Amino acid sequence: MPFAADPEHVHEALCAPRPYSFWLDSSRVMPGVSRFSFLGFPGGRHGEVLRYRVGSPAVEVLDATGQPRGELPGDIFGALRDRLTERAVPTDELPFDLDGGYVGYFGYELKADCGSPNTRVSPAPDAVWIAATRLVAIDHELGETWLVALCRDGEDDAERWIADAREELAGQASPVVPDRGDELDFSDLLRVPRDRYLDDVEACLEQLRAGESYEICLTNEVDLDFTGDPRALYRRQRRHNPAPYAAYLALGDVQVLCSSPERFLRVGRDGVCESRPIKGTAPRRGDPAIDDVVRKELASSDKTRAENLMIVDLLRNDFGRVCRMGSVHVPSFLAVESYATVHQLVSTVRGRLPEGTDAVELTRACFPGGSMTGAPKLRTMEIIDELEDRPRGVYSGALGYFGLGGAADLNIVIRTAVAQRGRLSAGAGGAIVLDSDPVEEHEEMLLKLHAPLRGLTRRDVGGPTGSGFSRPPAR
């Protein structure tokens, strides 16, 4: 279609009524990074949902409404590899890499299948992946919209869906997004109160001085009663905090509202793989001159440069376990990128996969993303489990797609709120290194927490008085 469809209209018209759907949302378009947005659902006879919990002997297979259809023995990594191999189709004529594959997330506790045992259980499934059998792809650079259906020859339902979707989108109109109203102050609603968080930072510093780790990613969480509409909240979130790796996933009784600026992994159909770790954050300022000073200070800070360098080294090591020997390199180091609320320090690591190795194998080797753990990864995750009194769940995991042509693109799940059965949670944190200041670390955590919760009002959490607030018990 020779125009860029409005993604909010596409979502409301084609995806919102369905219990399982996805919206991979390039709400902030960046050349070479975020050209396309993808929206879709598991329609047609090949539509399915894969759901998995760590420790289960099999992956559940659900139909498009969430009803059980069967099981696949093994873990989610094996199930995805098998399904992608079974359904592989040549799609070189498409200008994008999501060509009827799977869209979903890996939660942080999936680390148990990657060599780091869990001590806690997430309330949400550890992985959910939707077959992208009905797909709208929006090209923000060329101003085009593609409709894609996965089917076998002679299946009329795919042709009917494309015709119906074309007609629906031809008369598009953007939905009205309610105003934000009275935004909330979350500082008093943290699971770990300020004094305890400062103590935890000091405990991290003790581990660093003892030589147990070089860098520890410590996090906190807000968990609230939630009576609002997740879709409306996400539409407000994307307008006030646009990001290149944003997403809205509707997964039965779980909704993921993500405004991530960080790429975890991208694998092209040619086997070239890339990660863009973020370490180093500073708040935006309203005065352009002051904002420019903050940006330059971030780029020159010894502390933030050290944080970023250690994660780059960790990723080079992770890539080196799978990529061709000699192919791993760092084409961009310590570049500053600016978003609606923060400046971020970003590096780029690249490599190339050898023949016989795929994107799922690379993901298993690199998961969880080092920017959410610290280094060395396995020992640091043990320290995190000792300090944090909760599972991280979807937060700190990875979200995105695996295509049928061998490509993949996954973010790091940060700046994200998760709605589930009347609750809304959001995590935030920061990397602790030897010269970290506990008070500054607490302030940085609060700054990051603001992004996914912009637009949340008192009406969303129990009425105009905020009577629905309830802080989970602090440890």
448 a catalytic residue: no
Structure tokens at 176: 């009205």
Compute CA 210 distance to the chain's CA centroid, rounded to the nearest angstrom: 33
Q: Name beta bridge partners: 264.
A: none
Contact 188, 386 (CB under 8 A): no
Contact 186, 453 (CB under 8 A): yes
386 a catalytic residue: no
Catalytic residue among 48, 60, 109, 262: 262
Rg (CA), the chain: 21
CA distances from 236 to 253, 399, 431 (A): 21, 20, 28
Contact 280, 440 (CB under 8 A): no
Closest C-alpha to 397, from 148, 129, 195, 165: 129
Q: How many residues does the chain have?
A: 475
Catalytic residue among 279, 377, 388, 441: 279
C-alpha span between 333 and 59 (Å, rounded) = 39
CA distances from 139 to 37, 72, 320 (A): 7, 35, 33
My answer on whether omega of the bond before 368 falls inside 30° of 0, hence cis, is yes
Active-site amino acid positions: 262, 279
